[in-house]
Amino acid sequence: MPRTATLDHVTLQLCEPDDLRLSWVGRDDLLAQLEAAWLVVDERDLPMNPRLIGKPGVGKTTLAYAAARASGKPAYLFQATMDTRPEDLIVTPVVAPGGGIVYAASAIVTAMIDGGVAILDEGNRMSEKSWASLAPLLDRRRYVESLVAGIKIRAHEGFRFVATMNDDASTFDLPEYVQSRLMPTVVIDFPEPDEERAILENNLPFAKEEVLAYVTAFLARAHAADEPYTARDGVNLARYAIKRAAQRGAEAGPADLREALVRTLGVDALRHLVD
């Protein structure tokens, strides 16, 4: 049976927390920055609402999820898009099997009720109108209002919030009143080569040394040329090369890696080909 909560005589159907196979491999200070933002040091204090900024694929969501799990709280992930509406962020009416209306709480509202962590992923793909619906949640008021259900929902004292944001051209500029509510900013850059190698090993425990060394070297060359390729790209490159070799019953070699480089990242990536 779905979990529910009743607020002001309105029953909300709650989400289940996300259980993901993600683990943070990288700079411990980034994790510490995020954890510090969520600390409450006095009964008059409030947690902050950090935002994680970096290029797609550098591990923003992984870091947010790892921090949530480290805090011992359930994690709820909400994927923002350009089409996200205010009601999507709060409460959505849906038709029940019997024909009635059920009010479905979003991942964010479920986290508010449970005292969990809400991860708003790729938040700057979302319009200002949608952000406006979260404004009272992200200041001292710590509530949202559902016009659909006609209720005000207050956050549990254990509730924490974090937004991830891509540093690229396909996003909205956030208005000042939103930016002022999303502090501090934690910037995630490309990892160092040894960290990148550890990320690859963590995601590809079945990969041979030659594949890991090739991909690590490719990423190092790409970073030096200020290319946007990330560890996630490297994982996909290695995974496809291994799969292509497996079709022949062989281990991945230079030809497989070259083909995978073109198929996953495009011909332009050959400029950083490892000899």
* Per-residue pLDDT tens over the stretch 39-49: 999 999 999 99
Q: What does the alpha-carbon distance between residue 78 and residue 63 come to, in Å, rounded to a whole number?
A: 15
In this prediction, residue 275 carries a pLDDT of 60
Q: What does the alpha-carbon distance between residue 1 and residue 21 come to, in Å, rounded to a whole number?
A: 25
Spell out the CATH class of 193-272. mainly alpha
Q: What is the mean pLDDT of the chain?
A: 91
* CATH 1.10.8 residue window(s) in the chain: 193-272
Closest CA to 220 of 177, 181, 191, 198: 191
Residue with tokens 């006609």: 150
In this prediction, residue 171 carries a pLDDT of 67
pLDDT, tens digit (0-9, with 9 covering 90-100), for 141-189: 999 999 999 999 999 999 999 999 988 766 677 889 999 999 999 999 8
Model confidence band, residue 24 (pLDDT cutoffs 50, 70, 90): confident
* CATH 3.40.50.300 residue window(s) in the chain: 4-187
H helices within the chain, ranges in order? 28-38, 60-70, 86-89, 107-114, 128-134, 176-179, 193-203, 209-224, 231-247, 254-265
Architecture of the 4-187 domain: 3-Layer(aba) Sandwich (3.40)
Mean pLDDT of 243-267: 93
CB-based contacts of 209: which residues, under 8 Å, 6+ apart? none
Mean pLDDT of 29-33: 93
In this prediction, residue 264 carries a pLDDT of 94
pTM for the whole thing?
0.88
Structure tokens at 50: 């950090």
Model confidence band, residue 227 (pLDDT cutoffs 50, 70, 90): confident
pLDDT of residue 274 exceeding 70? no
String of DSSP letters for 171-198: SPPPPHHHHTTS-SEEE--PPPHHHHHH
String of DSSP letters for 156-168: PTT-EEEEEEE-S
Q: What does the alpha-carbon distance between residue 47 and residue 70 come to, in Å, rounded to a whole number?
A: 16
pLDDT, tens digit (0-9, with 9 covering 90-100), for 95-153: 877 778 899 999 999 999 999 999 999 999 999 999 999 999 999 999 999 999 999 99
User: Beta partners for 121?
Assistant: 79
